[in-house]
Amino acid sequence: GESVGLHLPTLSVQEGDNSIINCAYSNSASDYFIWYKQESGKGPQFIIDIRSNMDKRQGQRVTVLLNKTVKHLSLQIAATQPGDSAVYFCADFTGGGNKLTFGTGTQLKVEL
Amino acid sequence: GAGVSQSPSNKVTEKGKDVELRCDPISGHTALYWYRQSLGQGLEFLIYFQGNSAPDKSGLPSDRFSAERTGGSVSTLTIQRTQQEDSAVYLCASSFVAGNEQFFGPGTRLTVL
């Protein structure tokens, strides 16, 4: 079935470096994607979203890139900080926009 | 309230017992969602409400699971005759309307012994 998946389960980066978290999706009809951050013991927190009519969107220290040709999106975090340590999920809207389909998640570890 | 709240935060129960989980969405949000997250896994969609009706129940894993929403606000997820495989974190989210950004609560951690 359709799914959203992540390439790497764990990513370790040095504080101050840039982080890149990747995600592949399989539903060619997906037109809205969201990145969530989940800290231990908390619910997912919205980071940034992007619609399929865009290929790049920037927020504060974060950038999402969307490549519809290969059905891939990435989350870039600039100058990674210890507070960025968390699990990051990509998700897309399916079922007519009524529910999110999540990938497994990538654990980002920031080393001092 | 300022965000989505869920209660209890933790629930330990014995196999075969029924449990009820509660979600208070953000005031004014018409859409409400339930997800389940097993240890180290992504979120699994369970059910979605628009107002008090549930147009999409496709994610409920069995007939032991049910949910209702009253007054277009509070929702309860009920699991009957709990099994050990029901152990997970149950997350609730709400959005202003379906298809908009979903705001998540902190979840209820359910442990079935």
Q: Domains along chain B?
A: 5-112 (2.60.40.10)
Q: Residue A94: its pLDDT value, please?
A: 66
Q: How many residues does chain A have?
A: 112
> Is pLDDT at A97 greater than 80 in this prediction?
no
Do residue A99 and residue B107 have CB atoms under 8 angstroms apart? no
Cβ contacts of B35 on chain A, cutoff 8 Å: 100, 102
* A11-33: pLDDT as tens digits: 999 999 999 999 998 888 888 89
For residue A62, give the CATH number of its domain. Answer: 2.60.40.10
Indicate the pLDDT class of residue B71, thresholds 50, 70 and 90. confident
- Partners of B7 in beta bridges: B22
Answer whether B72's CB lies under 8 Å from B52's CB: yes
Report the mean per-residue pLDDT for chain B. Answer: 92
Among partner residues A41, A43, A96, which is closest to B104 by beta-carbon distance?
A: A43
Chain B residue with minimum CA distance to A92 = B99
Answer whether A59's CB lies under 8 Å from A107's CB: no
Amino acid at B12: V
Q: Residue A26: its pLDDT value, please?
A: 84
What's the whole-number mean pLDDT along residues B25-49?
Answer: 90
* A36-74: pLDDT as tens digits: 999 988 999 999 999 999 999 999 999 999 999 999 999
**Closest Cα partner for B11 from B70, B79, B64?**
B79
Q: Residue A28: its pLDDT value, please?
A: 83
Chain A residue with minimum CA distance to B47 = A99
For A85-99, B71-85, B99-113, which range has the lowest pLDDT when averaged over its residues?
A85-99
Cβ contacts of A2 on chain B, cutoff 8 Å: none
| CA pair distance A71, A28, nearest whole angstrom | 7
The count of domains in chain A is 1
Tokens representing residue B65 in the block: 């699971």
What's the whole-number mean pLDDT along residues B62-69?
Answer: 95
Q: Is A25 on the interface with B (CB under 8 A)?
A: no
Among partner residues A42, A44, A98, which is closest to B56 by beta-carbon distance?
A: A98
Q: Who wins on pLDDT, A5 or A36?
A: A36
Chain A residue with minimum CA distance to B43 = A102
- From its phi and psi, is residue A29 left (phi > 0), alpha (psi between -120 and 50) or beta? alpha
